[in-house]
Amino acid sequence: MDKLLIEGGSRLQGTVQISGAKNSAVALIPATILADSPVTIDQLPNISDVRILCKLLREIGGTVSFEEHTFVVDPRNMVDMPLPNGSVKRLRASYYLMGAMLGRFHKAVIGLPGGCNLGPRPIDQHIKGFEALGAKVTNERGAIYLRANSLHGARIYLDVVSVGATINIMLDAVKAEGQTIIENAAKEPEIIDVATLLTSMGAKIKGAGTDVIRIEGVHELHGCRHMIIPDRIEAGTFMVAGAAVSDNLLIDNVIPQHVEPLTAKLREIGADVQVGEDQVFVSRSRMPLKSADVKTLVYPGFPTDLQQPLTSLLTQAEGTSIITDTIYGARFKHIDELRRMGADVKVEGRSAILSGPTPLEGAKVRATDLRAGASLIIAGLMARGITEIVGVEHIDRGYDHIMEKLQGVGANIWREPMRDEEARESLKEQE
Q: How far is the CB of 249 from ligand EPU (least distance, A)?
A: 22
Query: What are the residues binding ligand EPU (CB under 6 A)?
Result: 23, 26, 92-93, 116, 121-126, 160, 162-165, 186, 233, 304-305, 327-328, 370-371, 398
Specify burial of residue 159 (Cβ count, 10 A radius: 0-12, 13-18, 19+): exposed
Q: Measured from the CB atom, is 114 or 342 closer to ligand EPU?
A: 114
Measured distance CA(132)–CA(109) in Å, rounded: 18
User: What is the closest distance, in whole angstroms, from the C-beta atom of residue 138 to ligand EPU in the complex?
Assistant: 16
The DSSP letter of residue 397 is H
Supply the minimum distance, in Å, between the C-beta of residue 169 and ligand EPU. Answer: 10
Degrees to nearest 5, angle at CA 151 with 150 and 154: 145
Residue 210: count of CB within 10 angstroms of its CB: 12
- Rank residues 163 and 389 by Cβ distance to ligand EPU and give the closer one: 163
Residue 156's contacts (CB-CB under 8 Å, 6 or more residues apart) are 128, 129, 132, 133, 169, 180, 181, 182, 183
Closest approach of ligand EPU to the CB of residue 392, in Å: 15
Shortest-Cβ-distance residue relative to ligand EPU: 164
Smallest distance from ligand EPU to CB 29, Å: 11
Taking the least distance from each CB to ligand EPU, the nearer of 74 and 305 is: 305
CB atoms within 10 A of CB 399: 25
AA letter at 374: A
Q: Which residues contact 4 (CB under 8 A, 6 or more apart)?
A: 377, 388, 389, 392, 395, 403, 413, 414, 415
For 429, phi then psi, to 5°, come to -65, -30
In 203-270 the beta strands, taken as DSSP E runs, fall at: 204-206, 212-216, 225-227, 246-252
Residue 92 near residue 126, CB atoms below 8 Å:
no
Catalytic, out of 33, 56, 100, 116: 116
What does DSSP say about strands 12-17 and 246-252: parallel, antiparallel, or unpaired? Answer: parallel
We find the least distance from the C-beta atom of residue 309 to ligand EPU, in angstroms, to be: 11
**Closest C-alpha to 156, from 133, 172, 122:** 133
In the annotation, is 54 catalytic?
no
Smaller CB separation from ligand EPU, 23 or 351: 23
Which lies closer to ligand EPU via its Cβ, residue 122 or residue 288? 122
- Please identify, using beta-carbon distances, which residue of 243 and 327 lies nearer to ligand EPU: 327
Least distance (Å) from ligand EPU to the CB of residue 125?
Answer: 3
CB closer to ligand EPU, 202 vs 236: 236
DSSP code, position 20: B
Q: What is the largest CA-CA distance in the chain?
A: 65
Report, as residue numbers or ranges, the catalytic residues. 116
